[in-house]
Structure 1
Amino acid sequence: MLMQSDVVVTAFKSSKGEMNGKPYDSTKVYIETGMQAGERSKGIVSTEYTWGLSLNYDLIEKLELPFKAKATFKLVNNGRDSKTILVDLVPEKVQPKAAN
């Protein structure tokens, strides 16, 4: 099942290398998620999603944080647990970082 949502990206990072002979390659994206309001909780947290390979980092590297984007998620289930996967992320508009 694919779902689209307007999101706010608060952070991102890429990782690529090898550990104990096993290669790894990914981009992690942190997206604002509303906390379920309760008696002793309120606010906004960021949820981590893996977004493909480290090459995806290059697509958003120059954007100023936080930024708004259209996200496509895929909900999958192994028969016991559900997981939400970030399939695509398209920033609303280009917002390059200011030159230092």
Structure 2
Amino acid sequence: MKFSSTLKVTGMKFSKGTMENGQSYDSTKVYVETALDNSKDSAMGTACAEYGLGKADEYQKYKHLADAFPFMASAEMEIVTNGKLQKTVIHSLRPLEAAKAATPGAKHASA
């Protein structure tokens, strides 16, 4: 099931290499502010959830936004399953206002 969502991206990291057993790994993870489940009245507020965003080269597309974190973004997402477990993946991420804040020479306002 594919859907669009607006997300608050709080962090990103990539990982690429080969394990000792020869198995390779290549991924980008996105950390998104996500509401805690308060349906049992035992939690409130938010936490960060980890979502996959393709391979390590995806990280490089957002590296110029390093000073803009956290930022709001429009995301194309999909819920997928292997028949037993389901997960949500991000297919594309488009920063909304962060690009303006991350332009070269931009000054950050202080309160």
Fold conserved (TM > 0.5)? yes
Give the one of 45, 48, 54 matched to 1:46. Answer: 48
Q: Which runs of 5+ in 1 are unaligned?
A: none
Tell me the CA shift for residue 97 of structure 1. 7.4
SS in 1 for 2:12: strand
Cross-structure match for 1:23? 24
Tell me the CA shift for residue 26 of structure 1. 0.8
Identity of aligned residues (%): 36
Distance in 1, matches of 2:31 and 2:103, equals 18
Cross-structure match for 1:96? 102
Distance in 2, matches of 1:97 and 1:46, equals 26
Q: Which runs of 5+ in 2 are unaligned?
A: 106-111
Give the one of 67, 71, 78 matched to 2:75. Answer: 71
Q: Name the aligned partner's letter for residue 68 of structure 1.
A: M
Structure 1 or 2, whichever has the larger Rg, is 2
TM-score by length of 2: 0.80
Cross-structure match for 2:108? none
Q: Name the aligned partner's letter for residue 2 of structure 2.
A: L
Q: Which runs of 4+ in 1 moved over 6 A?
A: none
Distance in 2, matches of 1:74 and 1:40, equals 28
Q: RMSD between aligned alpha carbons?
A: 1.7
